[in-house]
Amino acid sequence: MFYQLSRDPAHGVVPLLAKKSLEAGERVLVVSGEDTQRAEIARGLWTLSPHSFLANGEASEPHPDRQPILLSGEVEPVNGARFLFLADGHWRESEARFERVFYLFDDATLQEARQVWKDLRGREGVTKEYWAQEDGRWAKKASE
């Protein structure tokens, strides 16, 4: 699942996608190599709605295996996650270990995302979808 961020940053989009993932009964691993971005995403998860929050924690904190949403700099699903969110726009070869991968990228990482799309073309068992923000909504632009 390729998500091109144009209006909202990752820390605004990840909580919405993570909420839907949890509602589907899935655990989530959010990966970003940037400590600051992971902290912003964590704040977004805790404050998604005034009436609720999405429990989460850092992989470096105690009991990462208990977290429904685990934030990490590494692709290690110690919480049993089957859904992976690559929040920093950088691809990591790991799709075989997950049922679904959400690859979020922006203008700064657009060229990398285009190359990843090409590299995944024809890979067995991989179905790709490309989503972009239009008028405040997500629109499906392509699939293979």
Task: Inform me whether the pLDDT recorded for 102 exceeds 90.
Answer: yes
pLDDT digits (tens, 9 = 90+) for 19-69: 999 999 999 999 999 999 999 999 999 998 777 789 999 999 999 999 999
pLDDT class of 3 with cuts at 50, 70, 90: very high
Cβ neighbours of 86 (radius 10 Å): 27
Task: Inform me whether the pLDDT recorded for 97 exceeds 90.
Answer: no
Helices and strands, number each (H, E), in the chain? 3, 8
Task: Inform me whether the pLDDT recorded for 116 exceeds 70.
Answer: yes
Task: Inform me whether the pLDDT recorded for 95 exceeds 70.
Answer: no
Q: What is the mean pLDDT of residues 84-110?
A: 93
39: Cα within 13 Å, side-chain hemisphere: 3
Task: Inform me whether the pLDDT recorded for 94 exceeds 80.
Answer: no
Q: What is the mean pLDDT of residues 90-119?
A: 93
Enumerate residues 6+ apart whose C-beta is below 8 A from 132.
3, 4, 6, 138, 139, 141
Cβ neighbours of 124 (radius 10 Å): 4
Predicted pLDDT at 135: 85
pLDDT digits (tens, 9 = 90+) for 70-87: 999 999 999 999 999 999
Task: Inform me whether the pLDDT recorded for 100 exceeds 90.
Answer: yes
Predicted pLDDT at 48: 83
Tokens of 72: 């990490």
- CA 76, chain centre distance (Å): 14
pLDDT digits (tens, 9 = 90+) for 6-16: 999 999 999 99
The Cα–Cα gap between 114 and 129 comes to 12
Q: Please tell me whether residue 71 adopts helix, strand or coil conformation.
A: strand
* Single-letter code of the amino acid located at 15: P
